[in-house]
Amino acid sequence: MAASTRNDPYTGFRFLIEVEGLLVGGFAEVSGLQAEIETEEYWEGGNHNVHTLPKGTKYSRLVLKRGVTDADTLWKWHTRIRDGHVERHTVHIILLDEDSSRKWDWRCVDAYPVKWSGPDFRADSDSIAIESLELAHNGIRVG
């Protein structure tokens, strides 16, 4: 009998964020990579059966968190949106393996910032100052 190949899952701490070909910094956390198919119930007459039918797909906001640095690419993008200059970009969340090779690439298409949150400051803590950026988008593609 031939030995089977072990296929371990990838770890969640090796990832990159890329916006339109530009690596935009080391992020501590990415959340909201989610798609939900909304449904509608339809009652079939005579049988009293309920059918659940797909209605559409809803995408959660993508939330990017990172330590505050001198890199202001994301802040400037948010500022342009705030000032009425809507720029939609494809945001790539790239999962790397232990050799830093790209294994998965989730693309959030037509994304733009809808919320920026600055760090919490506390004199009794030496934690890193974290900023977050929430992005709305029009769908997730995998490639």
Residue 70 pLDDT greater than 60, yes or no: yes
Residue 61: which CATH number? Answer: 2.30.110.20
* Mean pLDDT along residues 19-29: 77
Residue 47 pLDDT greater than 80, yes or no: no
**Would you tell me how many other CB atoms lie within 10 Å of the CB of residue 92?**
21
Which residue range is the domain that position 40 belongs to? Answer: 15-142
Tokens (6 digits) for 68: 């505050």
Distance, in Å, from the CA atom of 90 to the CA atom of 88, rounded to the nearest integer, reads: 7
**Could you tell me if residue 3 is inside a domain?**
no
Residue 33 pLDDT greater than 70, yes or no: yes
Report the number of distinct structural domains present in the chain: 1
**Could you tell me if residue 8 is inside a domain?**
no
* pLDDT tens, residue by residue, 98-131: 888 888 999 999 999 999 998 888 899 888 888 8
Q: Which pTM does this prediction carry? A: 0.81
Q: What is the per-residue pLDDT for 75?
A: 86
